[in-house]
Amino acid sequence: MTARDAGSPLSPQRPGFRLYLRLAWRNLWRNPRRTLLTLSAVAFAAVVLVFMVSMQLGGYGAMIRGAIGVFTGDLQVQAHGYHAKKRLRTAIGDAAEVEARVATVPGVTAIASRAEAYALVSSASRTYGAMIVGVEPTKEPSVSTIPRTIRKGHYLSGPSADEAVVGQALASNLSLTVGDEITVLGQGLDGSLAVAALKVVGIFSSGVPELDRQTVEMPLASFQSSFLLGDRVHTIVVRTSGLEAVPHVAAAITTTLAQHRGLVVLRWDQLLEGLKQGIAMDAAVGWFLYTALVLVVTFSILNTFLMSVLERTRELGVLLALGTRPRFLSRVVVLESAILLLLGLAFGTLAGAGLTAYAGVHGIAFSSSEELLAQWSLPARLYPRLDLLSLTLGPAAILLATMAAALFPARRIRRLRPVDAMKAV
Amino acid sequence: MAQLALLLRLARRSVLRNRRRTLIILVAIGVALWAMIFFAALTRGWENDVVHNAIFTLTGHLQAHAPGYRDDPSVDHTMSTPGSAVIRLLDNPEVEAWAQRVRVPAVVMSEHDTAGVTLVGIDPAAERGLSFIADAVHRGRYLDSPDDHGILIGRALADRLGTGLGKRVVVMSQGTDHSVADLGFRVVGLFEGDREATEMAYVFVGRGTAATMLGLGDRVSEVAVMLRDRRRLPSFVARLRAAAPGLEVQPWTTLEPMAQAMVALGQAWIWMFFIVMYVAMAFGLINTMLMAVMERTREFGMLQALGMRPRLILTQVVFESCLLLAAGTVAGVGLAAGTLALLHGGINLSFLAQGAEMWGMGKVIYPAAAAGDVIGAVGLVVVLGVLSSVYPAWRAARRVPIEAITRN
């Protein structure tokens, strides 16, 4: 196809897009070295951003899932005020009914009740303070990973057995092994002394230092009779079909429980406020770094755009003198930049996706900081998560910033005066 | 020398010939350096805070314990008070402060609630300059003497227990005879920690009172030492080990492995970011220099035809990029210095306190530019920047004169 077919820039009818494209493409490869360098700069930034954003989002996902999966759950139903002050008497009275109602809400995949109290735990030779949690042994495995992380022995066998499973660090502090007896000494609901003698049937290692250091789990029914709770519980832990479902499941539960006074539904981000804030903070540092990178790349390639116009001043002057419209020329220049950027971003995004996918399969090991990562409920091997958001967020930011930069030299063309331009060196 | 001065003048004029282009690349270099230095300063601020917290909370620069205490910090692993050889070492001018403590797990009960804590028995005067507690009491008073019968508890713990100044609490722990020892204390002071975790974790009583309660006599759990100069730590640890062969003497880096791991992580982050920023900036620099060279093909051809040596042309172009880098460095470092000066009061994170605590940070973070990082960033940008301009310079120098002049 010739230029005439597509509509010449000099002809009165509007030039076709193919003509723009052809001119832009030719201009681009007039100086292949410069074009390739610019392309590499854009591609490099895209690779870095795709990979880092995927790492970051993957890390946050792992952190949240890790933190809520171990013990907290996606959301909890509690008596009003219990989250702020964990008092024995701030309990849910009609627990069975509430639990039954919550179970009917769509999106709820698992549910279990717990009661909690702080008490003294004594072994034969040691005494420590610990959080005693009464759990439903049959339901607990569906809301918490602790039952699956029993290192020695087994999990609680029945709803009212006088048994306990103890966190590993606490067990070692108490010099306990499986089969030993412990005495739990606390305060019952009426203020009297609550005593329970339990047999240690298992020792768990949840990976969360805080839980392993200070948690004892025992059957809920035994807990309720020891602490004189009747059939009251403190939390009803709910798992949902996924993190995205949490807000509307929480809303649905709130509606369902409207007639039960004094109950609140708390989402994981309300229960683990530190985690939410920590992620927000890390994300803020991330945005600072990405913004700086995008800025530097933008200024790095702004020169390319500018020069490709400046060095053609004479040529542009001639074209203008021949009657070419400035708008046509500036469109060609913008199109040039756009092609360059899109090519670079395409390569960069592809390479970034490849790199991320590879890391997503094999994981990235932080062997020396395992303990540190565990503290942030992160596994020793991190898997970046490649999804539409992490794939497009970085490249889109680069495109926006650099296109804005590309408009700057294009504007110059409109101000060019043919005679002066033709005289330019 | 005169030749170099001439080249430098030529370079300066060339750089100023296209002001807009020069300005744009300066912004790229400046922003890159600013971001590098600022990020490094933030990371160092975080590290300093983690380390400061690790050292000042109770650890000090180093500690001595009875063997076994670290695995089982109970009354079963105590030691007698330091002997004269150790005292002589500790009382020397290298040591800023040192103190003995009783430190065991315990349970605190108010009339409302119970909490697990670490009971720390201190010599109130000796803790000054060693740990945070001497200056942390914000309501009530500090302890008077090792035999003070009062207790200091954290503000957050007081909240949680529903207790307060002047109220009584009962502390229970395991005594030396393996029975539960308990003692009532009056809350004489509430202390504030930089982190809520600190306020929840420790309660402080007099060392003598604690020893009496637990039946320890004059035995202690640990000796903590703060040196005047942290760099003397390895040698001091070695000397203390020699003076007290029966004890476990460990520096804070061993006692607080988390703080150490965070420092290592911070270091890795800084360098990763440096390299990414450098690469992003280098593309721009190389391209700019290439363009500056291309458009002057005729000029360089003419110079060569007039007898200027290719080597000098190469030098001139490298000088040009040196000038750009130098100006960019000044701009970037200046900008970073300005930003850090604005933030010298620290960045207040109390609105995100719980999140900050998750990363081991206190409520205020003080960005701190470390000389090493600034030199590293500037060195990386300047040295590698000059190296990457050799390619465009080489292209400029290798033109054959006739070809270059006739080319348009």
A277/B355 CB distance under 8 A: yes
A231 phi, psi to nearest 5 deg = -110, 25
Three-state DSSP state, A235: strand
Distances (CA, A) of A341 to A43, A334, A338: 9, 10, 5
Distance of CA B255 to the CA centre of its chain: 17
Q: Look at residue B110 and give its three-state secondary structure.
A: coil
For residue A424, the Cα-to-chain-centroid distance in whole angstroms is 54
CA distance A181 to A171: 11
Chain B CB contacts of A41 under 8 Å are 280, 283-284, 287
Residue B170, judged by CB atoms within 10 A of its CB (0-12, 13-18, 19+), counts as middle
CB A377 within 8 A of CB A208: yes
User: Token pair for residue A374?
Assistant: 């565990």
Q: Which of B:114-143 have CB within 8 Å of A?
A: 114-117
Which residue in the set A273, A296, A372 is minimally distant from B28, CB to CB?
A296
A85 contacts B160? CB cut-off 8 A: yes
**Residue numbers in B near A275 (CB within 8 A):** 355, 358
User: Which phi and psi (to 5°) does residue B64 adopt?
Assistant: -120, 135
Q: Using CB atoms and an 8 Å cut-off, which of residues 282-321 of chain B contact chain A?
A: 283-288, 290-291, 294-295
The minimum CA-CA distance between B346 and chain A, rounded to whole Å, is 16
DSSP codes joined into one string, B8-26: HHHHHHHHHHSHHHHHHHH
3-class DSSP assignment, residue B294:
helix
Residue B156's pLDDT is 92
Chain B residue nearest residue A369, CA to CA: B261
Distance (Å, whole) CA A367 – CA B73: 28
| Length in residues, chain A | 425
- Compute how many other C-beta atoms are within 10 angstroms of the C-beta atom of residue A4: 9
B131 CB neighbour count, 10 Å cutoff: 25
List helix spans (H) across B295-351.
297-305, 310-342
Distance CA B338, CA B344 (A): 10
Instruction: Say how far apart CA A173 and CA B185 lie, in whole Å.
Output: 26
Burial of A218 (0-12, 13-18, 19+ CB in 10 A): buried
Cα B50 from Cα B266, distance rounded (Å)? 11
The pLDDT of residue B1: 67
Chain B residues whose beta carbon lies within 8 Å of the beta carbon of residue A119: 114
Here the tokens at position B104 are 């065991």
Q: Tell me which chain B residue has its CA closest to the CA of residue A278.
A: B355
The pLDDT > 70 percentage for chain B reads 98
Mutate to test the interface with A, among B274, B283, B296 (most CBs of A within 10 A): B283
Tell me if A289 and B39 make a contact (CB, 8 A cut-off): yes
A225 and B CB contact within 8 Å: no
- What's the pLDDT score for residue A215? 95
Nearest to A303 by CA among B113, B96, B21, B318: B21
Q: How far apart are CA B177 and CA A168, in angstroms?
A: 25
Sequential pLDDT tens for chain A (425 residues): 444 444 455 555 566 788 888 888 888 888 888 889 899 999 999 999 999 999 888 888 888 888 899 999 999 999 999 998 888 889 998 888 999 999 999 999 999 999 999 888 989 888 888 999 999 999 999 999 999 999 999 999 988 889 999 999 999 989 899 999 999 988 888 888 889 999 999 999 988 888 998 999 999 999 999 999 999 999 999 999 988 899 999 999 999 998 888 899 999 999 998 888 889 888 998 999 999 999 999 998 888 888 888 888 888 888 888 888 888 888 888 899 999 999 999 999 999 999 999 988 888 876 666 777 777 777 777 788 888 888 999 999 999 999 998 888 888 888 888 878 877 65
Centre a 10 Å sphere on the Cβ of residue A262 and count the other Cβ atoms it contains.
12
**Is residue B34 pLDDT above 90, yes or no?**
yes
Q: At what angle do helices A273-310 and B257-294 cross, to 10 degrees?
A: 10
Which residue from B21, B265, B283 is facing A44, i.e. has the nearest CB? B283
The answer to whether residue B358 neighbours chain A at the CB level (below 8 Å) is: yes
Q: What is the rounded distance in angstroms from the CA atom of residue A307 to the CA atom of residue A315?
A: 13
Q: Which residues pair with B121 in a beta bridge?
A: B102, B205
Does the beta-carbon distance from B283 to A41 stay under 8 Å? yes
Decide if pLDDT at B269 tops 80: yes
Residue B72 neighbours by CB distance under 10 Å: 15
Q: Is A153 helix (H, G, I), strand (E, B) or coil?
A: strand
Whole-angstrom distance, CA of residue B77 vs CA of residue B86:
19
Q: Find the residue in B nearest to A130 (Cα).
A: B116
Residue B100, Cβ neighbours under 10 Å: how many? 23
> Rounded to the nearest 10 degrees, how much is the dihedral formed by the CA atoms of A381, A52, B267, B129?
-90
How many CB atoms are located within 10 Å of the residue A365 CB?
Answer: 12
Contact in structure between B114 and A187 (CB atoms under 8 Å): yes
Answering whether pTM is above 0.90, one says no
CB contacts under 8 A, A 308-327 vs B, are 310-311
Average pLDDT over residues B191-204: 91
Residue B15 has pLDDT above 70, yes or no: yes
Contacting residues of B for A186, CB less than 8 Å apart = 114
Separation of alpha carbons B163 and A294, rounded Å: 53
Does the CB of B21 have a partner CB in chain A at under 8 Å?
Answer: yes
Strands B180-191 and B150-154: parallel
Looking at residue A5, its pLDDT comes to 46
Q: What is the DSSP letter of B192?
A: -
List the single residue in A with minimal CA-CA distance to B110.
A187
Q: Smallest CA–CA separation between B289 and chain A, in Å?
A: 10
**Contacts with B392 from chain A: Cβ below 8 Å:** none
Q: How far apart are CA B32 and CA A295, in angstroms?
A: 8
DSSP A145: S
Burial class (CB in 10 A: 0-12, 13-18, 19+), A46: buried
User: Do A172 and B356 count as a contact with CB atoms less than 8 A apart?
Assistant: no
Mean pLDDT of B247-262: 88
Are the C-beta atoms of B97 and B126 separated by less than 8 Å?
yes
Rounded to the nearest 5°, which phi and psi values hold at B403?
-60, -40
Average confidence score pLDDT of chain B: 89
Dist. CA B264–CA B87, nearest whole Å: 34
Whose CA is closest to B158, among B98, B123, B199? B199
- The pairing of beta strand B202-206 with beta strand B114-122: parallel
Nearest to B60 by CA among B137, B129, B124, B117: B129
Alpha carbon distance, N-terminus to C-terminus of chain A: 34
Say if the Cβ atoms of A48 and B276 lie within 8 Å: yes
Q: What pLDDT does residue B374 have?
A: 93
Q: What is the DSSP code string of A71-126?
A: II-SEEEEETTTTTS--TTS-BSSHHHHHHHHHTSTTEEEEEEEEEEEEEEE-SS-
d(CA B284, CA B72): 59
Q: CA–CA separation, B283 vs B290, rounded Å?
A: 11
The CA-to-CA distance between both ends of chain B, in Å, stands at: 34
- Specify whether the CB–CB gap between A56 and A286 falls below 8 A: yes
How far is residue B213's CA from residue B236's CA, in Å, rounded to a whole number? 34
Question: A191 to chain B, minimum CA–CA distance in Å?
Answer: 9
Question: Strand pairing of A215-219 and A127-135?
Answer: parallel
pLDDT at residue number A2 = 43
> Which DSSP string do the residues of A272-324 spell out, in sequence order?
THHHHHHHHHHHHHHHHHHHHHHHHHHHHHHHHHHHHHHTTHHHHHHHHHTT-
Q: Which residues, at least 6 apart from B292, have a Cβ–Cβ distance to it below 8 Å?
A: B14, B18, B21, B317, B320, B392
B373: closest CA among B263, B274, B261, B260? B274
Residue B200 vs residues A77, B57, B158, B195: alpha-carbon distances, Å: 26, 13, 9, 9
Residues 6+ apart with CB under 8 A from A125: A175, B178
Smallest CA–CA distance, residue A178 to chain B, in Å, is 19
Q: What is the residue type of A356?
A: T
Q: Is the CB of A278 less than 8 angstroms away from the CB of B24?
A: no
